[in-house]
Structure 1
Amino acid sequence: MRSLLHLLAFSASAAAQNCAFGGPIFPAPKSASSSTAIQHARHNFTQSLRSILRSSSDPDVTAIDPDVTSFAVQVYSVHEEQPLVEYYHTAKAVRNNTVGVNKVDEDTVFRIGSISKVHTVLLLLMETGDASFHEPISKYLPEIQEAIEALEGSHDDVDHVRWGEVTIGELVSQAAGLFRLYGFGDLTETPDLMSGLGFPPVEEEDIPPCGFYPPCNRTQFFNGLLGTHPVVPTSSVPIYSNDAFVLVGYILEALTGKSFVDLVEERLFERLNLTHSSPTKPADDIGIIPGLVNETFWDTDMADMIPTGGIYSSAKDMSRFSRAILTNELLSPALTRRWLKPQAHTADPSFSVGAPWEIYSVNDARKVDLYTKGGNIGSYSAMMGLSPDHDVGFTILVGGNAATSATWALGDLVTGIVIPALDRAAREEASKHLAGTYASGNETLRLVTDHGPGLKIAKWESNGIDILESLNSLQSRPVDGTLDVRLYPTGLESTAGSGRNGSTTVSFRSVISGPPPMGPPNGPLTRLCYTWLTVGNTVYGSVALDEFVFKIGEDGDAVSLSPRALRTSLARVRH
């Protein structure tokens, strides 16, 4: 057993310097808007946006045409009422429109397309929790059960989905291997074009009778979907499917006995007071309509496809909706944490898929996972994103020509400028509220913030003994010089009391940064971050040496720090 512990300890030391165990490196900032980091980020965002807010015919130049593109951008923290960053632009082409708004603000309504999938999954989680993720969809959809029975004994995996294997969890995480979207965009709508391109005519029964004009009813949808071919086996690789979320909508209706429209209105929009959100077209005078209503898809009725892409919303409402997710207003904290996790990986190591999250791993000074969802429909494009590490979200809503490319450009600015600044804002607050000298009797511990992650132990002595040297001697491979030990928040908190005597205890764990690896540098194994394997590795009396607990006063300042293994509590004596 001891050799195994040494092996794990060595794995940690073989990893890169300052390799944390995942998650935030400081507590989420509570007053980010007042930090110098966010103030600089706000200025840099505005300046960078203005530099690309121009017309350009060069395909290699990222630009947003201000004459034909309207948009709203908000970045917000759950701890502050006002946005950290906001920007609204109205295209010159719509400023004199007689239909729709002439000026974009936080209440302007856009179509949000596939962001609607987040609303759909949230409704499912509110109704059943994630236990339903493991249930077969045939339990709730009689059409699927009939298809299973019809194919029994004559199943062809290339031509038919194994519907008996498909679970609700596979639908919401794009892992069912289903067709993308039955009826919509089928090229049989343009037979002359396809004939000229060399494609043969198709049989009448293979031509979808519905799509967007008119939308499919339930019977038409199942008749069409059950005749489509699978893309991949279930739970193999994620394949995007809008049809999967039409099925989830039907499942929700079976579970609740209500229409999806009534369900989303009552359980989300009314409950959260989202007055500028709707599952069907709102009044024209509150929306941005960047052209003719029928050409922009502003007035397109999504009918049974509303769960996959039919919702309308505003920047302010999307902020309120996202805050409700991050603050566990609608789900328990445990369920929210399970929801904000990857379900599958893609070919890109920095991009994973959740339910229905599109998860980007942004690498600046460290890896930060952003839980996003994009949406596109007609002349509209949108993106929402959540950063659980920072208690922050963002919304991007675009209407006009080249809306999708504008959304990506705006998303790059947010993720490239604002998100890294949040770590710096968190460092500023940690320096003010947590760093400093803690002492009791003959024991002293000093915490500092530097350019690295976490709170660094700069000094730690007890009864004349240098504890950092003691920790170094316990390593399987001691380092020369002073050991680098940093504290990171675990997310565990407990609040006791109220009023002037109220306090909160906050848990941290320390991580020791070891020397460079002994083997070939930057190999596929030696460069990995193994710290998660070693947390709690060394214990003294059933208490890990890496466990630390702060007591925080009502003003947010640390009152004391307890290195749990030493069974002491050290008062904060100075910052």
Structure 2
Amino acid sequence: MSTQLDDEKRQLKSSEIPLHPRQPNKWLHFAARISFVLGILLQIFVITGGALWWHGYIGMVVRPDTARNSRTFEGRQPSPFHPPALCHPPLPAAVTLPQPSLASIPFSSASRRLRSFLELTMLTEDIDGLTVGVVTPDGLFFDESFGQLRANETHRGSKKAPDTDSLYRIASISKMFCALELMVLKQRKILDWDDPVHRFLSNFTYNTDDWGQHLNGEGQASSFQKASPITLRQLASHMSGIGRDFPPISVGSWPKMGNISVEINTRESTLKSIANIPLVVPQYSSPVHSNTGFSLLGWTLTAAANTTSTYADLVHRDLFEPLNIGSSFNVTAENAHRIVVPSTMPQLADLDLTDVDNSSEGQYSSLRDLAKVMQTFLVPSRAGSLLSSYSMREWLRPLHAFPDDMTEMGAPWEIRKITDTYGRPRRWYGQGGHLRVYQSKFSFNPDAGFGVVVLMTGRYSDAEGIALKAVQIYQAAFDWHVAQITDMLYGGRWVSEDQKSEATTVVLDGGLWLVKMVLQGTDVFKTLEGPTPISKSYGLWATGRTDEFRIGIGRASPEANCFPFVASFDPLYARKAPIDLILFEGVGSGRFMKVPSADVTLTKV
């Protein structure tokens, strides 16, 4: 049986026909010369044609009857970051499968590579302290710290390194916690995404003028239009149009700067600035990173919770205590020994941003704290999670796509598309933090099965680059693990007890494929496509439920890509079940495939 399955896998991977050796004859040398000349001409043709195609003078046409498993496409690649590929079924999300072992060779090798990279980075860059973690649903998979806990001290004993529990200022990662608080209150039905700010802050107004009107004195400052309110969703996604930092810092004149004027940042002065200064762009036009917007969101959430306490108290109650984490908004006698201090601007270590800016950038957290939070994001169904799986799926969505085909904005997610081992872009949801000499990055992808946390002090500011490198190093190992587990659980040859039904499934190119299915003596491929089926395989799409898949009946094409699959799911029913539904049950040698629409159960052989 295994030999037959191996043969089918090889047929999918290659259609090469073995060449049988022949005895040389008198025409051999002549044929060799002709082949050489033809080879040169072919190279010229390929190079010239490729250049013309790349510059758009000719197109590459894909025949519909060969499009299903082809990776070719028509026209020039739209992006240098990830070339387009025909829609392939994704493997089950890594977080739904058994977790990998750190001792396995791909993961131990990845850990060594990441450790070497971090050591080299410490040697070549101006970094005071660095803590990096790779997180899976089971917890910290990789955990290393470098440098100094208190880089501003020179006395003996000051060389102590930070560790998993050391507290860094996480700057804008505070915004992620503010958005999490919003989701918690939404889940409790205290508020909704699209509630206007003025529902909770009755005196809130904003300036609806455009800048031309404003500068010419033609507008109506502080007017409020109910037709275009500023909402909680807009604040959480930087889509409100409110400026970056209010009250703004004035430099007097430009480009030769005059006297710098800084107004004290209070709640009252901030609300006054929002009321008087026009928006950078109209709401939902384009993201504008707004610290002020998240300060406003923090005040709004506190008001919505109907509490007289501060935002910090609200987050302690709703987030820190249930998660049992030691995050804070200020330095205390209890946590002072854990605070990471940079060598330059050490005064930032204990700067209290107060309730005015705590929700925007005032939080301290450790790797252990952030790893606990990330675990609940990866698997919201785990015990102790603050959000339901439904809420998490709702939260992990882009709200704006930038024209670079690589970055997107969520609420508050800074989303980056990173290609996996198979060249397909995956959305990594994250939040970065930058407060002068404090840098941080929190990034994860549930489908990939892991996330990365970077906490850093010093002049070197590329925490994003370190996180990206960690993802790239570990991605291949996690992709390998998912492919192996998927093949073990769902790949193989399946046969019914009466031998009238059989199916063959294989894991190939990052997808699970159905390459043969006969039910009650009827070839399913012929039923779907006629007596001479074109398709060599159909993708099995994981639904997100354990052991449940749908057959991707739609035909992929460069023009439509994934849309045909979306349109063809759940097409017809038989025996009260959709005909494209495939279920798996059992463990080990007692593994079964079920096709409810045909009332067929097949055993793995």
Match of 2:325 among 260, 269, 274: 274
Query: How far did residue 381 of structure 1 move?
Result: 0.7
| Equivalent residues of 1:12, 1:531 under 8 A apart | no
Percent of residue pairs identical? 22
**Which residue identity does 1:362 align to in structure 2?**
I
CA distance in 2, matches of 1:71, 1:280: 21
What TM-score do you get using the length of structure 2 for normalisation? 0.75
Question: 1:417 maps to which residue?
Answer: 473
> 2:316 matched to 1:260?
no
**Which residue identity does 2:491 align to in structure 1?**
A
CA distance in 2, matches of 1:97, 1:563: 70
> 2:97 matched to 1:33?
no
Query: How far did residue 15 of structure 1 move?
Result: 8.0
Question: 2:113 maps to which residue?
Answer: 44
| Equivalent residues of 1:484, 1:514 under 8 A apart | no
| Equivalent residues of 1:116, 1:310 under 8 A apart | yes
Structure 1 residues 96, 249: CA separation in 2 closer, same or farther (over 3 Å shift)?
closer
CA distance in 1, matches of 2:223, 2:434: 27
Which SS does the other structure have where 1:298 is aligned?
A: helix
CA distance in 2, matches of 1:167, 1:144: 11
Larger Rg: 2
**Which residue identity does 1:489 align to in structure 2?**
A
Match of 1:209 among 238, 260, 263: 263
Match of 2:452 among 375, 387, 394: 394
> 2:175 matched to 1:175?
no
What TM-score do you get using the length of structure 1 for normalisation? 0.78
| Equivalent residues of 1:101, 1:286 under 8 A apart | no
Question: 2:597 maps to which residue?
Answer: 565
| Equivalent residues of 1:379, 1:401 under 8 A apart | yes
- Deviation readout 1:472-513 (Å, 9 max, x if unpaired): 4389xx42xx612232321124xxxxxxxxxxxx21122358
Structure 1 residues 567, 134: CA separation in 2 closer, same or farther (over 3 Å shift)?
same
Structure 1 residues 474, 359: CA separation in 2 closer, same or farther (over 3 Å shift)?
farther
| Equivalent residues of 2:167, 2:338 under 8 A apart | yes
**Which residue identity does 1:355 align to in structure 2?**
A
Structure 1 residues 26, 327: CA separation in 2 closer, same or farther (over 3 Å shift)?
closer
Question: 2:203 maps to which residue?
Answer: 143
- Deviation readout 1:455-483 (Å, 9 max, x if unpaired): 223443344444344444389xx42xx61
Structure 1 residues 552, 100: CA separation in 2 closer, same or farther (over 3 Å shift)?
farther
Q: 5+ unaligned residues in a row in structure 1: which ranges?
A: 1-8, 56-63, 149-153, 211-215, 494-505
**Which residue identity does 1:133 align to in structure 2?**
W
Question: 2:135 maps to which residue?
Answer: 76
**Which residue identity does 2:245 align to in structure 1?**
L
Structure 1 residues 261, 11: CA separation in 2 closer, same or farther (over 3 Å shift)?
farther
**Which residue identity does 2:542 align to in structure 1?**
P
- Deviation readout 1:70-95 (Å, 9 max, x if unpaired): 211111111x24x2223221159839
Structure 1 residues 377, 92: CA separation in 2 closer, same or farther (over 3 Å shift)?
closer
CA distance in 1, matches of 2:371, 2:395: 19
CA distance in 2, matches of 1:217, 1:180: 15
Which SS does the other structure have where 1:134 is aligned?
A: coil
- Deviation readout 1:19-66 (Å, 9 max, x if unpaired): 2366856674422235443333223323444444432xxxxxxxx34x
**Which residue identity does 1:425 align to in structure 2?**
H
Within a 5 Å distance, the mapping from 1:1-16 to structure 2 comes to: 13=68, 16=71
Query: How far did residue 228 of structure 1 move?
Result: 2.3
**Which residue identity does 1:454 align to in structure 2?**
G
Match of 1:352 among 408, 430, 447: 408
Match of 1:226 among 275, 289, 298: 275
Question: 2:514 maps to which residue?
Answer: 457
The 10-residue stretch of structure 1 (280-289 or 529-538) with the greater mean CA deviation from structure 2? 529-538
CA distance in 2, matches of 1:427, 1:513: 23
Query: How far did residue 401 of structure 1 move?
Result: 1.4
Question: 1:437 maps to which residue?
Answer: 493
Question: 1:378 maps to which residue?
Answer: 436
CA distance in 1, matches of 2:158, 2:219: 49
CA distance in 1, matches of 2:540, 2:315: 42
| Equivalent residues of 1:118, 1:373 under 8 A apart | yes
Query: How far did residue 408 of structure 1 move?
Result: 2.3
Question: 2:578 maps to which residue?
Answer: 544
Of the two structures, which has the highest relative contact order with CA contacts closer than 8 Å and spacing of 6 or more?
A: 1
| Equivalent residues of 2:593, 2:602 under 8 A apart | yes
The 10-residue stretch of structure 1 (250-259 or 30-39) with the greater mean CA deviation from structure 2? 30-39
CA distance in 1, matches of 2:457, 2:299: 30
Query: How far did residue 552 of structure 1 move?
Result: 4.1
Question: 2:5 maps to which residue?
Answer: none
CA distance in 2, matches of 1:565, 1:371: 38
Match of 2:548 among 507, 513, 534: 507
Question: 1:248 maps to which residue?
Answer: 297
Structure 1 residues 488, 93: CA separation in 2 closer, same or farther (over 3 Å shift)?
same
Structure 1 residues 86, 10: CA separation in 2 closer, same or farther (over 3 Å shift)?
farther
**Which residue identity does 1:103 align to in structure 2?**
A
CA distance in 1, matches of 2:162, 2:230: 43
Q: 5+ unaligned residues in a row in structure 2: which ranges?
A: 1-63, 72-84, 209-213
Structure 1 residues 50, 234: CA separation in 2 closer, same or farther (over 3 Å shift)?
same
CA distance in 2, matches of 1:358, 1:569: 45
CA distance in 1, matches of 2:406, 2:312: 35
**Which residue identity does 2:316 align to in structure 1?**
E
Which SS does the other structure have where 1:394 is aligned?
A: strand
**Which residue identity does 2:317 align to in structure 1?**
E
The 10-residue stretch of structure 1 (346-355 or 26-35) with the greater mean CA deviation from structure 2? 26-35
Question: 1:239 maps to which residue?
Answer: 288
> 2:543 matched to 1:490?
yes
Structure 1 residues 236, 289: CA separation in 2 closer, same or farther (over 3 Å shift)?
same
**Which residue identity does 1:306 align to in structure 2?**
N
The 10-residue stretch of structure 1 (155-164 or 39-48) with the greater mean CA deviation from structure 2? 155-164
Question: 1:316 maps to which residue?
Answer: 368
Say what the alpha-carbon RMSD is for the aligned residues.
Answer: 3.4
**Which residue identity does 2:169 align to in structure 1?**
R
Query: How far did residue 298 of structure 1 move?
Result: 1.0
Query: How far did residue 310 of structure 1 move?
Result: 0.6
| Equivalent residues of 2:171, 2:361 under 8 A apart | yes
Structure 1 residues 320, 12: CA separation in 2 closer, same or farther (over 3 Å shift)?
farther
Which SS does the other structure have where 1:265 is aligned?
A: helix
- Deviation readout 1:231-270 (Å, 9 max, x if unpaired): 1101111111111111111111111213111111121112
